[in-house]
């Protein structure tokens, strides 16, 4: 089966062709166009600008990915249908609908968060490399998934391929959004996550004691608005005087955010005793989060399989959409192109 993956949920335009033979994946082509420089002057993603850039890039990327003009050799088209920014989602969805109709190819609608989950099943590979995805063996499941991005922060139980249950989620800001907003307060560049992480390496994690909202609550929900506000209040009372103070604020904020994420995940793992713990989403690229989560999980639940999204696939990309689309296609979960619509609030569960 050869799957064309299309991803345009936010500010990355991405196209990939994934070939499967049973459970063996071969990533034939994968191209992504980033819009970071376009949105940099605004300190965040401007939805209408993002949509225009997707319009500019989607067909050139299809050509760059060597997608046949007549769709020959392709079996399935997988596209992100949501969640995400409506103007951005529509470009990918409408493109996929047109190609599906003209080429007479089966169409699969993929949840963006499910795509992130399946990014963790793709090791660091370049085009042409092969990877074997785990078959639906019960010993792999359940998997506890920590999804962390600019728009979502959720703890999900993956009971089997395509079967999910939500344990908890943020009640306000997503952790990636908190990173972006704190970076803005500090005058750092967009996107905020990498900017803060780079500074945090040179800072003291215990220089400021920022709050850990909901860390001790008797559920698995999270909150980051209070942490963000605490940084704002601190900066008002103690304006940054030098580079070291800036680094210290970054390190202390990052440590507080990581502490909450890891504590909730470890507690969930101790309760559920999953076979694996999966980390995915844009914020999964944060090395401090990866290191602390790995250390704490293996100490609390020895023998647990760790499935961390490779850095190359932690951001939005079409390879993960094609991988998730393969699972849906195997279950014949195809959609009518005439009925598919972008859904910015599409839920995983």
Cα(211)–Cα(150) distance, rounded to whole angstroms? 20
Residue from 329, 322, 313 nearest 92 by CA: 322
Instruction: Name the pLDDT band for 154 (thresholds 50, 70, 90).
Output: very high
276 annotated among ligand-binding-site residues: no
Token representation of residue 217: 């609550």
Strand (E) positions, the chain? 2-7, 12-21, 24-34, 76-82, 106-111, 130-132, 143-148, 153-160, 163-169, 276-280, 305-308
149 annotated among ligand-binding-site residues: yes
What is the overall mean pLDDT for the chain? 94
151 annotated among ligand-binding-site residues: yes
Options 3.30.420.40, 3.40.50.970, 3.40.1050.10, 3.30.70.580; CATH for 138-308 is 3.30.420.40
Instruction: Name the pLDDT band for 268 (thresholds 50, 70, 90).
Output: very high
Residue from 308, 306, 299, 205 nearest 257 by CA: 205
3-state secondary structure of 21: strand
193 annotated among ligand-binding-site residues: yes
Instruction: Name the pLDDT band for 280 (thresholds 50, 70, 90).
Output: very high
Cα(6)–Cα(32) distance, rounded to whole angstroms? 10
252 annotated among ligand-binding-site residues: no
Look at residue 289 in the predicted model and tell me its pLDDT.
Answer: 98
Q: Which residues pair with 266 in a beta bridge?
A: none
Tens of pLDDT, residues 191-226: 999 999 999 999 999 999 999 999 999 999 999 999
Phi, psi of 173 (to 5 degrees): -75, 145
Residue from 207, 288, 283 nearest 249 by CA: 207
Tens of pLDDT, residues 323-342: 999 999 999 999 999 999 99
Residue from 326, 338, 275 nearest 304 by CA: 275
Residues whose CB is less than 8 angstroms from the CB of residue 34 and which lie 6 or more positions away in sequence, other chains included: 11, 12
247 annotated among ligand-binding-site residues: no
Look at residue 132 in the predicted model and tell me its pLDDT.
Answer: 64
Say yes or no to pLDDT of 125 above 80.
no
Domain 2-124+312-330's class?
alpha beta
Look at residue 328 in the predicted model and tell me its pLDDT.
Answer: 96
Residue from 121, 257, 109 nearest 176 by CA: 257
Instruction: Name the pLDDT band for 137 (thresholds 50, 70, 90).
Output: very low
286 annotated among ligand-binding-site residues: yes
DSSP annotation of 340: -
Per the document, the length of the chain is 349
Kindly write down the DSSP assignment for every residue of 60-122, as one continuous string: HHHHHTT--TT-TT--EEEEEEESS-HHHHHHHHHHHHHHHHHHT-EEEEEEHHHHHHHHTTS
Q: Burial level of 209, CB count in 10 A (0-12/13-18/19+)?
A: exposed
CATH 3.30.420.40 range(s) for the chain read 2-124+312-330, 138-308
Query: Among 22-31, 71-80, 98-107, whose mean pLDDT is lowest?
Result: 22-31
Cα(303)–Cα(300) distance, rounded to whole angstroms? 10
287 annotated among ligand-binding-site residues: no
The sign of the dihedral angle between the CA atoms of 234, 236, 238, 242 is positive
Residue for token digits 């202390």? 252
């Amino acid at each position: 089966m050869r799957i064309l993956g299309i991803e345009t949920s936010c500010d990355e335009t991405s196209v990939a062709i994934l070939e499967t033979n049973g459970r063996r994946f071969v990533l034939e082509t994968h191209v992504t166009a980033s819009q970071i420089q376009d949105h940099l002057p605004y300190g965040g993603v401007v939805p209408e600008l993002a949509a225009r850039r997707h319009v500019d890039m989607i067909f050139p990327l299809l050509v760059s990915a060597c997608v046949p003009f007549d769709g020959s050799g392709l079996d399935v088209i997988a596209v992100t249908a949501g969640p995400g920014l409506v103007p951005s989602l529509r470009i990918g969805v409408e493109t996929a609908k047109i190609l599906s109709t003209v080429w007479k190819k089966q169409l699969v609608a993929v949840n963006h968060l499910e795509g992130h989950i399946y990014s963790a099943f793709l090791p660091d590979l370049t085009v042409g490399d092969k990877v074997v995805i785990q078959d639906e063996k019960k010993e792999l499941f359940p998997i506890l998934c920590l999804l962390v991005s600019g728009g979502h922060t959720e703890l999900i139980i993956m009971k089997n391929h395509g079967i999910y249950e939500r344990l908890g989620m943020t009640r306000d800001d997503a952790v990636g959004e908190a990173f972006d907003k704190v970076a803005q307060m500090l005058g750092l560049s967009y996107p905020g996550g990498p900017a803060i992480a780079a500074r945090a390496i040179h800072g003291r994690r215990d220089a400021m004691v920022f709050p850990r909202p909901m860390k001790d609550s008797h559920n698995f929900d999270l909150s980051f608005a209070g942490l963000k506000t605490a940084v704002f209040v601190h900066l008002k009372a103690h304006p940054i005087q030098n580079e070291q103070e800036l680094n210290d604020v970054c390190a202390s904020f990052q440590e507080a955010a990581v502490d909450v994420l890891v504590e909730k995940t470890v507690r969930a793992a101790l309760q559920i005793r999953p076979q694996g713990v999966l980390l995915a989403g844009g914020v999964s690229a944060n090395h401090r989060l990866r290191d602390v989560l790995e250390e704490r999980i293996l100490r609390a639940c020895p023998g647990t399989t760790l499935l961390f999204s490779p850095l190359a696939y932690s951001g939005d990309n079409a390879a993960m959409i094609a991988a998730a689309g393969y699972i849906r296609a195997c279950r014949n979960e195809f959609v009518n192109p005439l009925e598919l619509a972008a859904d910015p609030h599409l839920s995983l569960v």
